[in-house]
Amino acid sequence: MEFVKPPPPPIRRLQLQDPEAATQVLPPVEGNGNGVAAAPAGSGFITARRAVSAPQFSIRRMEVDDVSIAYGDKRAVKNVSLPIRQGEVLSLIGPSGCGKTTLLRSLNRLTELTSSASLEGSIRLDDVDIRLIEPTLLRRRVTMVFQQPNPFPMSVFDNIAYVLREQGSRRARKKELEPAVHSALQRAGLFEEVKDNLKHPALKLSGGQQQRLCIARALAAEPEVLLLDEPCSALDPQSTQVIEDLIVKLRDDVAVVIVTHNLQQAYRIADHVAFMYLGDLVEYNSATALFGSPREQRTAEYVSGAFG
């Protein structure tokens, strides 16, 4: 396979209201006019009200096109197609083993680390097939945050600096990296809490702070797409809320894809939701529609807690 060389597709940081950007104006959200949608009728399970207003604009950044992923003979994801847009949060939901994490990991080719994994169909980032992008470059444009907070066993500062430096080099000095490190921490909403202890070991932070450090780390690479794999499942409710607020804030700058087991969470922060079941994409719709008036029987059963 040939890589697009010399690749460095410049990182396209798109402004949502950029005249050049083909922004899509979303249909107005049904609700009470404040942008807060009414609690969907007909679903007894979802009671939390949407915390955020719906986005006004969004740009298509990634395109999952008829993608199937198999581990050996076992197909984990079957013919899934969906768009990923900057300006909104896409949430993948579904019972355990439905392939949502596999799909997420395929977006930055992390699935390739498993030797038995194979992918059919195509995933495009800004209309370039990601298989033509050199993996390390792709993974700087599409970064990921994991279920377990996993800062590297070094100082808070070094955790971010590691991402900013060229591969294994130590070339860039701390002074030069300082602005970029601070900016990443600020975007992750962690700067105020750690600015006096940047030399502190990162693993001594609280779980929620660690996870925000991981988000800061992922943002430091200046990605275009941010993948989150159940980022709050190991955290307490308070830290979860802080991170949810953060995710919503980030959606204007990066396309956000979040896998979650927590339906309320999906409802609170997602703009679009994809429900997967046994590898199939059962339903892809706006959060309000999917939770309020699901088209498919299986979706209705799942969101009302019938299975999974």
Residue 20 Cβ vs another protein, minimum distance, rounded to whole Å:
27
CA distances from 129 to 65, 134, 155, 225 (A): 10, 11, 36, 15
CB of 252 to another protein, least distance (A): 21
Based on CB atoms, which residue is closest to another protein, 102 or 299? 102
Can you read off the two tokens belonging to residue 280?
């199939």
Closer Cβ to another protein, 46 or 228, answer by number:
228
Which residues, at least 6 apart from 273, have a Cβ–Cβ distance to it below 8 Å?
90, 91, 92, 93, 266, 267, 284, 285, 286, 287, 290, 291
Judged by CB, which is closer to another protein: 163, or 181? 163
Distances (CA, A) of 54 to 28, 199, 216, 265, 303: 8, 39, 24, 15, 20
CA 139 – CA 259 distance, rounded (Å): 18
Look at residue 102 and give its three-state secondary structure. Answer: helix
Smallest distance from the beta carbon of 206 to another protein, in angstroms? 11
Closest separation in Å from C-beta 55 to another protein:
25
Identity of the residue, 169 or 238, whose beta carbon is nearer to another protein in the bound complex: 169
Give the shortest CB-139-to-another protein separation in angstroms: 4
Whether the link from the prior residue into 6 is cis, omega within 30° of 0, is: yes
Backbone dihedral region for residue 202 (phi beyond 0: left; psi -120 to 50: alpha; all else: beta): alpha
Element (H, E) at 290: helix 287-292
Compare residues 190 and 220 and give the one whose CB is closer to another protein.
220
- Spatial CA neighbour of 109 closest among 98, 96, 125, 94: 125
Nearer to another protein, 189 or 201 (CB): 201
Shortest Å, Cβ 62 to another protein? 16
Chain residues in the site for another protein (CB under 8 A): 108, 110, 113, 136-140, 143-144, 146-150, 152-154, 162-163, 167-168, 201, 203-204, 207, 214, 217-218, 220-221, 227, 234
Q: How far is the CB of 236 from another protein (least distance, A)?
A: 13
* Contact status, residue 54 vs residue 37, Cβ threshold 8 Å: yes
User: Of the two residues 214 and 287, which places its CB atom closer to another protein in the complex?
Assistant: 214
